């Protein structure tokens, strides 16, 4: 196995000593020790937290081997010098590596290198006293086999519980905060933030519930930063009523009336609305009126709670206990999201309840706020950043939407998020309207909500699939220029729910903002990665937030690579790069000829396929999208042979695709309407990473002792497969100019067309083939009409342009 | 949806009042109230734990509806009487039922009946004061939509935290213990129990590590009962070295030399061994030397920890920190398991560490012990019970092995536990030898272990598959007569890992022991069921253990049905019966003729099938056991047509199979060896329960506030399927008398043969067909030789005898 640690901060010796003192590994007692053997023994004694007697300590010590034939007790009692090899033999066991599997007592250093573990500097084959201190320092910062640094694994065993109640400020080790705040003494309070809008039209400014968890010590002077997660889901969801408004996707594509719209014609302009007056403050309170028990927590936040951060959850307008209605990502939702930050930063009012008008301030806040969360949660973090709101220092946007059109639409088509055909903005609004879960509250707004939901349904305009004013209001790109917060992006290169275009546009959209931007791209789908063994994601975020929110100069900006990308070929491999999807990347143009992708001159042919399937097959594919996907791509399967065009290269040299693949076609439809879909495929028998991570250890990760746990996971190689889809794209043939203007389409007339596929980063191994599949109905994402439409391509005018990664791994 | 609650104790009014006082719902303040409206409001106030002001309370109250048009605040403020309907409208919301899905405000009582919720007695349409108290009492004992009683859901929100530190004894409500002990103050200590054997042959009696968690209050006088889980896995496992000793199953069946053995020839007799002396006690301690941080916990135990029970984990001989070696279920392992009980009951010594000889007693123990755990853990509970050890009041044996021959063998064949072809007693021994995880300790025993492991490999005798002395030593049936503990059994009717024969023999084997025996059979595989929504399993166990370990007369013996079986047709349906697999059950005999199972006279035919497949198909089935199983059973698939005999009934009336299906055959093999396999199938297109439960709510179940959580799950119906396997069986044609005696087998000669399939309880719906498949190689369980062997059956002499459930649901 291999570890990939990006968040170890290089530390000078004096700082190492100070930090070892701070965390009580160096004490007034053992600083007197001059013999490395004795000091090492004392370090081990301190770290064997379970032993309360000499006998138990020695019993534990003798359970480790120091050499191939001597256990650690025997070794330390019989040697005058501490060999580097014996140190690392014991260290590997402390890190839970297994001599039957991971290393040999004959060559611990070889294993350390192979696993990619830090070997501390040493002049000779034995450690000097100072070398030992330094080696112990770095050992504490090194990840074990279970996805944690050694110091964090000690924390999980209770190392820091003696610090509880005895610290006035965050405790740092190697640039990262340690869990010295008792999570069971957490203060939990609810406040109601008054937002500057009235989205449920009740004549009062919307009050928004915020749930706050903060360290007990913040009651007595400690000012703490906030991790704020805006989650429309976390007060509950309406799965059944949401299901009821799902749309039927088994309908034909409709012809659209051509128009000549310009962007200004559809541009969203915020309406001027007269606002109700602010509430009159009756009095002030320092203590909240309302508490809560089990928040719907985000595991990354759980980790930080014991480390001196406040955690704030708010679900926003239209959710349980808040006012307002759901709008699925429009500027009102951004205002709702931002209101909480404004309160945390001291720039907005909140009340202890919804009726008494007693104001309560975030008097414990250090006014530095970060936003966390995945998917819709990360989306709202991005949205908030585009407001430029004061106090928001950074957002960690995981698998986030950056334009809702790129979530529910593409190229003038309704394109479902993967796995959710029929979902749309209205469905999501209904699902997240958790005010419905409180029937007494919902009763008041039901008629207004029914009307507003219908408005969303109408304006999202499934009939055309066009970009319109509704979607322009939900496009955060327009306000990227306002982003002042540093942004750390995380996205799955196999995320077909929130597709990679969303993160690519954010990555490339803020290059000139002057903020720090970092990105981590993994091989997962729509998941979070803070419990993976092979990358120290949690440590990275710790280093990052310690830097951003505690004003600590821990070099996070330099240490964390700008771009980290998980390799799709080698497991447990995360590479550093200087950029992703740079528009200046070199390109390879492949022409289409016969069934080949070729860099030679194209042939002039007209190739045709039909979209229609026999009804049995159509029905089977409707119910089994996986079977359809397999039959579409699998060369040896004949079911889809006449319903697609398939072009492949010859075997190629290793090629790393980096960015947006573009397809240029001359295409005709047999009807006056049409749509095309595209998939880029890696063909070649190989073991590939499985689609979903493997559970390595249920509840295997705890941020501190006796506290919430996460499941340790890792991507593993599966059985060999013949192919893998790299990326895909879709376009309506009536949206050849852009997604808002509708072009005419004469039957059997050829038109030029350019399409951008979803951005990617993909290593095609040597001797594989690159394949392009052109088809129409995408059973997982488009409508499915099974109409008798034929599509023709003129190969002479058609090609595919592939951006190539030229940078080396850094 | 439907709830099934078996653990609500009928309670007289005076006791209701006392218990409401005990849990502080009736207080000196509200006992003065005479108006049901006011008292109900106060009950609600007490249960709205999050509200610390009148304003917040009223805000919460107004979020409930009391009638189709009035919220609860309006209703309670404007009415003089409390209508039963309004009470239950609010109650249903308190129980998290959803008016959009589960009920209507027009008819709450109809919904209560449909969901199977308790409606309290009431004379009229409004509640009197006493009726209200009683209704509130039963409401607290009623399960909500999230698989918890209302009082337990309040506990999870913090209801009992004010009781922490303020109770001297367990607090009971409705016959069950409440979580009034602060789990974060738990005392965690390690002791080393001296067992009366020396299994690693080091000249010293084996010391066995036990991890104890007990309430803080047990330090100051509270004597607590123990839930003891013996888990060979819980100190870690050797997955990789275990994998290395897995056996190849792609080998042919071998002919066995006939013999004429009697049981006495193979009977296990315990060897007489001279034991090392007991250790000399140097001194005594009351406080342990060693602690631990995160035990590998069992979620059911987590639930009980806050309720005043000590939890004890021990992994036994050969595991990390203990002495000894692994033996996979032999009497030495039973002795190891029992030693911990003897210590808890005050009848054996333990030490604070392995070298100082300082004795420590379980001075906090009330000497009442129960064993819990699933699979190997439940197996050791059963094993311990067969020792008749003092102090062991009850075992909850979940998915437990009752004879290791029934786990790894059947009818003179090696039969793998489902999903683990190639595993055997030696593999399990190696996997659980967690002393290997401490290289310094393992180094001392490696040569001895290598020798012992080889002995297990030899003696388990995969070559013959016979029952022999090795297996006789691991057959707990022999000592069923010694069982004095009450036994609560839990098993999955679809558990093909630990097959149902194991529990059936235990159920029928202790009928005359004079102990209480209960059984719960569910539709799952090899899983635990303490987090299912539709049955109150945790409450049942609470009632049971409160009765068994706290000597509380809570009627558990009468209230808990003797037999609870989850229905295989209707979801969320658990029926009570008086017995299972009673040998006197009525039988239906089906004769075999042509391809029919028929109660008419049989035809006289000879039917033949071949075991051999073409090598492509053989290879595919080897790697894809699911495909093989599908092709074997599916009538419309032709791949296996010549490799099986398939007999089906005509469409039948609803039939409930209850017990052991027996097959009688006249059979010949074309060779001088042979094996047969059998599957009984339910044919008929139906929605059936999915194989694995659906996750309803991750971390949705907490036993108390701020404590460990479990995932709420439920079996749901899947898409319609054509068939389902009911049960199966296997036999070696050379073991026609029994599993230890080898019969001769002449090629092409017919022999009579009787085989018992795995016991079951299965409802075959009306108009389905019952099917019997006779085949040879079972790709999931037997060896796979692909030899050219043909098997013939004479139908005139062959039949299948099916036991029928005649009892009605009680």
Q: Which residue of A has its CA nearest to B71?
A: A440
- For B718: left if phi > 0, alpha if psi spans -120 to 50, otherwise beta; the answer is beta
Task: Report yes or no: A100 and B238 within 8 Å, Cβ to Cβ.
Answer: yes
Determine the distance in angstroms separating the CA of A62 from the nearest CA of chain B, rounded to an integer. 6
Q: State pLDDT tens for residues A398-408.
A: 999 999 999 99
CA atoms of A745 and A736, how far apart (whole Å): 10
If you average pLDDT over residues B672-687, what whole number do you get? 98
| Phi, psi (rounded to 5 degrees) for B218 | -70, -15
- Cross-chain Cβ contact A439/B355 below 8 Å: no
Identity of the residue in A53, A55, A441 whose CB atom sits nearest the CB atom of B63:
A441
- In chain A, whose CA is at the least distance from the CA of B92? A439
Q: Find, among B798, B803, B801, B800, the residue nearest to B602 by Cα.
A: B798
Alpha-carbon distance B214 to nearest alpha carbon in chain A (angstroms) = 15
User: Catalytic: A495?
Assistant: yes
B192 to chain A: nearest residue by CA?
A56
Say if the Cβ atoms of B439 and A59 lie within 8 Å: no
Each residue's pLDDT tens digit, A712-731: 999 999 989 999 999 999 99
Tell me the percentage of chain B whose pLDDT exceeds 90.
Answer: 97
> Which residue bears the tokens 């006495």?
B264
Query: Which phi and psi (to 5°) does residue B573 adopt?
Result: -130, 115
Residues A61, A45: Cα–Cα separation, whole Å: 9
Q: How would DSSP label each residue in A178-212?
A: ---S-GGG-EEEEEEEE-S--TT-SSSPPEEEEEE
Could you say which of 3.40.1410.10, 2.60.120.260, 3.40.190.10, 2.60.260.20 is the CATH number of the domain covering A586-804?
A: 2.60.120.260
Structure tokens at A724: 């893998």
Token pair belonging to A523: 């091989």
Tens-place pLDDT, residues B464-506: 999 999 999 999 999 999 999 999 999 999 999 999 999 999 9
Percentage with pLDDT > 90 across chain A: 97
Cα–Cα distance measured from residue B757 to residue B727, given in angstroms and rounded to the nearest whole number: 7
User: What residues of A are in contact with residue B153 (Cβ under 8 Å)?
Assistant: none
For residue B605, pLDDT beyond 90: yes
Find which of A94, A148, A290, A704 to mutate to test the B interface (most B CBs within 10 Å of its CB).
A290
Phi, psi of A626 (to 5 degrees): -65, -40
**Which tokens go with B65?**
């509806």
List, in sequence order, every beta strand (DSSP E) within A737-782: 751-756, 760-764, 769-775
pTM (2 decimals)? 0.96
Task: Output the average pLDDT for chain B.
Answer: 97
Q: Do A291 and B50 make contact, defined as CB atoms within 8 angstroms?
A: yes
A321 — pLDDT class (breaks 50, 70, 90): very high
Which residues on chain A are in Cβ contact (under 8 Å) with B439? 63-65, 71, 93, 99, 105
Q: Is A706 left (phi over 0), alpha (psi -120 to 50) or beta?
A: left
Q: Is the Cβ–Cβ distance between A534 and A2 less than 8 Å?
A: yes
- Cα A21–chain centre separation: 36
Q: Locate the chain A residue with the closest alpha carbon to B441.
A: A63
Do B293 and A65 make contact, defined as CB atoms within 8 angstroms?
no
Nearest to B213 by CA among B99, B97, B292, B126: B292
pLDDT score, position A403 = 98
Residue A717 buriedness (CB in 10 A; 0-12 / 13-18 / 19+): middle
- The pLDDT assigned to A229 comes to 98
| Angle formed at CA A184 by CA A179 and CA A187, multiple of 5 degrees | 100
The DSSP secondary-structure symbol of B4 reads: B
Q: Which of A152, A302, A424, A495 is catalytic?
A: A495
Chain A: nearest CA to B680, how far in angstroms? 29
Query: Which residues of B fall within a CB distance of 8 Å from A100?
Result: 238, 240-241, 436
Which pLDDT score, from 0 to 100, does residue A808 have? Answer: 62
Confidence of residue A508 (pLDDT cuts 50, 70, 90): very high
The Cα B718–Cα B727 span in angstroms is 20
CA B244 to chain centre: 29
CB half-sphere exposure, B292, CA atoms < 13 A: 20
Residue of chain B minimizing CA distance to A287 = B52
Distance CA B219, CA B224 (A): 10
Are A190 and B157 inside 8 Å of each other by CB?
A: no
Q: Is A372 exposed, middle or buried (0-12, 13-18, 19+ CB in 10 A)?
A: buried
- Helix runs in A510-595, H state only: 537-549, 556-559
> Between vectors from CA B604 to CA B599 and to CA B609, what angle results, nearest 5°?
100
CB contact under 8 A, B240 and A98: yes
Q: Which residues of B touch A105 (CB under 8 A)?
A: 439
3-state helix, strand, coil in chain B (%, to 5): 30, 25, 45
Q: What pLDDT is stored for residue B806 in this prediction? A: 83
Contact A440 B98 (CB under 8 A): no
Residue B524 has pLDDT above 70, yes or no: yes
- Which is nearest to B579 in space by CA: B483, B480, B508? B508
Question: Which residue on chain A is closest to B709 by alpha carbon?
Answer: A708
User: Per the CB < 8 Å rule, is A702 touching B292?
Assistant: no
Token pair 């398991």 is found at B337
The mean per-residue pLDDT over the stretch B546-558 comes to: 97
pLDDT-derived band at B603 (thresholds 50, 70, 90) equals confident
Specify whether the CB–CB gap between B756 and B642 falls below 8 A: no
Provide the shortest C-alpha distance from residue A93 to chain B (in Å): 8
CA dist A672 and A678 (Å) reads 20
Q: Is the pLDDT of residue A810 over 70?
A: no
Closest CA to B495 of B475, B520, B470, B517: B520
Tell me which of A632-636, B43-47, B147-151 is least confident: A632-636
Q: Could you list the beta-strand ranges (E) of A434-493.
A: 486-492
pLDDT surpasses 90 at B312: yes
Q: Pick the catalytic residue: A491, A522, A526, A768?
A: A526
Tens-digit pLDDT profile for residues A79-112: 999 999 999 999 999 999 999 999 999 999 999 9
Among all residues of B, which ones are annotated catalytic? Answer: 375, 495, 526
Name the token pair of A182.
């008792």
Q: Which residues touch A372 (CB under 8 Å, ≥6 apart)?
A: A227, A228, A229, A298, A300, A301, A381, A396, A398
CA distance B507 to chain A (A): 33
- Bridge partners of B772, per DSSP, are B647, B680
Q: What is the CA radius of gyration of chain B?
A: 29
Average pLDDT of chain A, as a whole number? 97
Question: What ipTM was estimated for this complex?
Answer: 0.96
Nearest to A425 by CA among A410, A411, A408: A408
Q: Which residues of B touch A703 (CB under 8 A)?
A: none
Q: Residue B190's closest chain A neighbor by CA? A: A50
Residue indicated by tokens 């992703």: A580
CA distance B587 to chain A (A): 42
CB A66 within 8 Å of CB A23: no
Of B100, B240, B443, the CB nearest to A241: B100
Distance of residue B13 Cα from the nearest chain A Cα, in angstroms: 32
- Vertex A404, ends A401 and A406: CA angle to 5°? 80
Residue entry with tokens 């020695």:
A58
Distance from C-alpha of A562 to C-alpha of A574, rounded to nearest angstrom: 13
Q: Do A101 and B240 touch (CB under 8 A)?
A: yes
Contact A655, A710 (CB under 8 A): no
How far is Cα B345 from Cα B362, in angstroms, rounded to an integer?
8
Q: What DSSP letter does each residue of A136-175 carry, written as one string?
A: HHHHHTSB-TTSSBHHHHHHHTTTTGGGTTS-SS--EETT
Q: Tell me what the mean pLDDT of segment B412-430 comes to.
A: 97
Of A63, A321, A702, the CB nearest to B294: A702
pLDDT-derived band at B392 (thresholds 50, 70, 90) equals: very high
Contact B98 A437 (CB under 8 A): yes
A49, B293: Cβ pair inside 8 Å?
yes
Are A65 and B352 inside 8 Å of each other by CB? no
Contact A644, A774 (CB under 8 A): yes
In this predicted structure, the answer to whether residue B810 has a pLDDT above a threshold of 70 is no
Q: For B93-107, how does the pLDDT look when each residue is reduced to its tens digit (9 = 90+)?
A: 999 999 999 999 999
- Asked if the Cβ–Cβ distance from A55 to B354 is below 8 Å, we say yes
The structural domains of chain A, with segments of one domain joined by +, span 13-177, 586-804
Q: Is A594 exposed, middle or buried (0-12, 13-18, 19+ CB in 10 A)?
A: exposed
- Mapping DSSP onto H, E and C, the string for A237-255 reads CCHHHHHHCCCCCCCCCCC
Spatial distance between the Cα atoms of A204 and A68, rounded to a whole number of angstroms: 76
B3 pLDDT band (50/70/90 cuts)?
very high
Residue B593 pLDDT level (bands cut at 50, 70, 90): confident
Q: Do B294 and A156 touch (CB under 8 A)?
A: yes
In 3D, which of B455, B480, B481, B453 has the Cα closest to residue B470? B455
Q: Which residues of B touch A321 (CB under 8 A)?
A: 63
Cα gap B183→B311, rounded to integer Å:
12
CB nearest B51 (choices: A100, A290, A441) = A290
Nearest of A77, A18, A78, A23 to residue A46 by alpha carbon: A23
Task: Using the predicted structure, report yes or no on whether residue B601 has a pLDDT greater than 90.
Answer: no
A505-520 burial: b if 16+ Cβ within 10 Å, else e: bbbbbbeebeebbbbb
For A167, half-sphere exposure in the C-beta direction (CA atoms, 13 angstrom radius) is 24
Mutation target among B44, B56, B453 for the A interface, most CBs of A within 10 A: B56
The tokens for A381 are: 């973090």
- State yes or no: pLDDT of A809 exceeds 70: no
Percent of chain B at pLDDT above 70?
Answer: 100
Number of helices followed by number of strands (H, E) in chain A: 22, 32
Q: Locate the chain B residue with the closest alpha carbon to A320.
A: B63
Q: Please, which residues have CB within 8 angstroms of residue A439's CB and are 6 or more apart in sequence?
A: B63, B64, B65, B71, B93, B99, B105
pLDDT band at B808 (very low <50, low <70, confident <90, very high): low
Closest C-alpha to B491, from B420, B580, B611: B580
Band of residue B34 on the pLDDT scale cut at 50, 70, 90: very high
């Amino acid at each position: 196995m291999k570890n990939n640690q990006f968040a170890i901060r290089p530390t000078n010796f004096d700082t190492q000593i100070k930090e070892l003192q701070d965390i009580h590994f160096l004490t007034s007692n053992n600083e007197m020790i001059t013999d490395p053997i004795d000091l090492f023994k004392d370090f081990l004694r301190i770290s064997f937290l379970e032993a309360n007697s000499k006998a138990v300590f020695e019993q534990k010590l003798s359970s480790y081997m120091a050499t191939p034939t001597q256990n650690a007790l025997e070794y330390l009692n019989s040697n005058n010098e501490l060999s580097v090899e014996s140190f690392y033999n014991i260290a590997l066991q402390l890190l839970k590596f297994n001599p039957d599997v991971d290393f040999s007592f004959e060559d611990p250093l070889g294993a350390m290198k192979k696993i990619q573990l830090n070997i501390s500097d040493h002049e000779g084959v034995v450690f000097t006293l100072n070398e030992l201190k330094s080696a112990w320092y770095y050992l504490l910062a090194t990840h074990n086999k279970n996805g944690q640094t050694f110091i964090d694994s000690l924390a999980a065993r209770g190392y820091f519980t003696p610090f509880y109640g005895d610290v006035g400020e965050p405790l740092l080790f190697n640039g990262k905060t340690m869990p010295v705040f008792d999570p069971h003494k957490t203060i939990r309070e609810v406040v109601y933030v008054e937002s500057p809008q009235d989205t449920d039209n009740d004549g009062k400014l919307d009050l928004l519930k915020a749930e706050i968890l903060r360290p007990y010590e913040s009651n007595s002077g400690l000012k703490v930063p906030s991790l704020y997660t805006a989650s429309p889901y976390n007060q509950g969801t309406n799965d059944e009523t949401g299901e009821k408004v799902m749309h039927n996707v088994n309908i034909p594509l409709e012809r659209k009336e051509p128009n000549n719209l310009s962007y200004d014609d559809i541009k969203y302009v915020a309406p001027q609305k007269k606002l109700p007056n602010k509430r009159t403050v009756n009095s002030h309170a320092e203590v909240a009126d309302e508490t809560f028990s089990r928040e719907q927590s985000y595991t990354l936040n759980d980790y930080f709670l014991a480390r001196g951060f406040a955690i704030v959850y708010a679900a926003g307008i239209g959710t349980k206990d808040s006012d307002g209605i759901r709008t699925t990502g429009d500027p009102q939702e951004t205002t709702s999201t931002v209101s909480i930050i404004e309160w945390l930063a001291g720039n907005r009012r909140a009340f202890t309840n919804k009726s008494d008008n007693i104001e309560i301030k975030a008097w414990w806040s250090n006014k530095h706020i970060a936003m966390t969360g995945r998917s819709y949660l990360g989306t709202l973090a991005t949205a908030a950043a585009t407001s430029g709101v004061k106090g928001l220092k950074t957002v960690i946007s995981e698998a986030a939407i950056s334009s809702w059109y790129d979530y529910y639409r593409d190229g003038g088509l309704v394109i479902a998020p993967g796995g959710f055909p029929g979902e749309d903005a209205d469905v999501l609004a209904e699902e997240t309207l958790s005010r419905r879960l409180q029937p007494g509250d919902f009763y008041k707004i039901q008629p207004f909500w029914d009307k507003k939901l219908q408005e969303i349904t109408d304006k999202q305009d499934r009939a055309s699939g066009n970009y319109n004013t509704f979607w322009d209001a939900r496009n955060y790109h327009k306000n990227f220029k306002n982003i002042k917060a540093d942004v750390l992006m995380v996205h799955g290169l196999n995320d077909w729910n929130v597709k990679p275009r969303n993160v690519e546009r954010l990555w490339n959209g803020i290059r000139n903002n002057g903020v720090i931007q970092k990105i981590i791209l993994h091989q997962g789908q729509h998941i979070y990665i803070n419990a993976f063994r092979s990358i120290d994601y949690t440590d990275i975020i710790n280093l990052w937030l310690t830097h951003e929110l505690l004003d600590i100069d821990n070099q996070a900006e330099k240490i964390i690579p700008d771009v980290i990308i998980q390799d799709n070929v080698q497991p447990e491999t995360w590479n550093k790069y200087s950029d992703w999807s740079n528009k200046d990347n070199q390109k390879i143009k492949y022409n289409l000829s016969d069934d080949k992708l070729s860099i030679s001159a194209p042939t002039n042919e007209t190739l045709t396929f039909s979209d229609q399937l026999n009804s049995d097959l159509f029905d089977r594919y409707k119910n089994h999208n996986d079977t359809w996907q397999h039959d579409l791509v699998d060369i040896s399967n004949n079911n889809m042979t006449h319903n697609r065009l398939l072009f492949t290269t010859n075997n190629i040299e290793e090629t790393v695709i980096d960015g947006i693949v573009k397809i240029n076609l001359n295409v005709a439809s047999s009807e006056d309407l049409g749509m095309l879909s595209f998939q880029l495929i890696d063909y070649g028998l190989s073991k590939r990473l499985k689609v979903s991570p493997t559970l390595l250890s249920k509840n295997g990760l705890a941020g501190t002792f006796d506290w919430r746990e996460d499941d340790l996971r890792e991507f593993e190689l599966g059985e060999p497969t013949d192919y893998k889809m790299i990326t895909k794209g879709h376009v309506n043939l009536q949206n050849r100019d852009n997604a808002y203007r509708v072009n005419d389409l004469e039957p059997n007339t050829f038109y030029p067309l350019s399409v951008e596929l979803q951005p990617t980063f993909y290593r095609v191994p040597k001797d594989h083939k690159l394949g392009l599949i052109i088809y129409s109905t995408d059973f997982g994402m488009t409508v499915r009409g099974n109409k008798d439409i034929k599509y023709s391509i003129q190969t002479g005018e058609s090609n595919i342009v592939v951006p190539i990664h030229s940078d080396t791994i850094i």
